[in-house]
Amino acid sequence: MRILVTGAAGFIGSQVCRRLLARGDQVLGVDNLNSYYDVSLKRARLQELITSPGFTFFEDDVSSMNVKDGRFAGVQRIVHLAAQAGVRHSLQQPRDYIHSNLVGFLEILEFSRKQEVDHLVYATSSSVYGANQDLPFGVGDMVNQPISLYAATKRANELMAESYSHLFEVPMTGLRFFTVYGPWGRPDMAIFDFTKKIIKGDEIILYGQGELSRDFTFIDDIVDGVIRCLDKAPASRTYVGPEINQGSSPHIILNLGRGSPVSVVDMVSMLERQLGRVAKIRLVERQPGDVDHTLADIDPTTAWCGYLPGTDLEYGIGQFCKWYQNYYTS
């Protein structure tokens, strides 16, 4: 299978590439290697991939992809993970999100329809649930109150995908990721950032007075969900349980989470145990754009593709801490 993965140097993208290569797929990876966070970490992820004969990497921006470019001829499936991430960064640099998340996604949609790909799987986010207070978050819930521009762009992606899928009969699956963590993670995410600060003895800041909770989901579980969904393209009038109001287009949206929220304070306690250190903590008010709690309803995803995340948070944090200490001390 010839598969295009965008955001191939990213946290999730690099691990998806690795899993696809391991099962024998031919993977074309695209990433613009932007400087939102440490580019050397992105290049190190790529080093894990480029030795595989089935992997070809293009340093490129999906916002300027040429659908007639022969480099991507014969692509059968796409996993679109390239995006400008980060809720808080969207408060300072909003135009980055329009360029990457809207213009870039439009180019992927155009590529998908003109190349007549078998299936497009794209990343959306639990952030689309915004001000929703009803837990767990179900894919049939109202998502018309995004509280960050990042969330608004991800919801826009879902609507754009629905339109293209309806008009051009391109099978598409949108995956709402819930707080992904693990080895090779993103430095701007809490577990990574807190680990660094605890080891250095720096103060960590807990927003919302430390009372926020998240549905932390281990990278291996996320990758398993992505590939299970990639291998099962929806058809028109696909029905995935009563929570999803599926229309006539071959397009579905699913949650990828753990289905088991943990408070940020408890997560910090797990980091302290794994690192053998005590964190210096400062409690502050909730930041604009933050939601209080997240919890994924994953029953429809399980019913659809057999997705069963099984990684305990303390075990997953332990795996991350081992990777972090090895990566930054070797």
Residue 34 DSSP SS3? coil
3 within 8 A of 27, measured Cβ to Cβ = yes
Cα–Cα distance list, 227 to 12, 32, 303 (Å):
12, 23, 15
pLDDT band at 243; cut points 50, 70, 90: very low
Mean pLDDT on 77-88? 89
Task: Check whether 8 has a pLDDT greater than 60.
Answer: yes
Q: How would you class 271 by CB atoms within 10 Å of its CB: exposed for 0-12, middle for 13-18, buried for 19 or more?
A: buried
pLDDT value of position 242: 47
Q: pTM of the predicted model, to two decimals?
A: 0.94
The angle formed by the CA atoms of residues 26, 58 and 6, to the nearest 5 degrees, is: 70
- CA–CA distance, 201 with 220 (Å, rounded to integer): 30
Give the least confident one: 68-72, 215-219, 222-226, 321-325: 68-72
> Which amino acids are annotated catalytic?
150
Mean pLDDT on 288-300? 88
Sequence spans of domains, the chain: 2-178+217-258+294-310
Give the least confident one: 9-18, 92-101, 221-230: 92-101
Q: Which CATH architecture has domain 2-178+217-258+294-310?
A: 3-Layer(aba) Sandwich (3.40)
pLDDT digits 0-9 by tens, 205-215: 998 877 899 99
pLDDT value of position 245: 45
Task: Check whether 289 has a pLDDT greater than 80.
Answer: no
- CA–CA distance, 168 with 216 (Å, rounded to integer): 36
- State residue 122 phi and psi, 5-degree precision: -130, 155
pLDDT value of position 86: 76
pLDDT digits 0-9 by tens, 83-103: 988 777 777 788 989 999 999
**Average pLDDT taken over every residue of the chain:** 92
In the chain, % helix, strand, coil (3-state, to 5) comes to: 40, 20, 40
pLDDT band at 246; cut points 50, 70, 90: low
Mean pLDDT on 230-235? 96
What percent of the chain has a predicted confidence (pLDDT) above 90? 79
Q: Which residues pair with 56 in a beta bridge?
A: 28
pLDDT digits 0-9 by tens, 171-181: 999 999 999 99
pLDDT value of position 231: 98
Task: Check whether 232 has a pLDDT greater than 80.
Answer: yes
Task: Check whether 40 has a pLDDT greater than 50.
Answer: yes
pLDDT value of position 94: 86
Task: Check whether 22 has a pLDDT greater than 50.
Answer: yes
Cα–Cα distance list, 174 to 126, 171, 253, 263 (Å):
11, 10, 5, 27
Give the least confident one: 98-107, 238-247, 295-304: 238-247
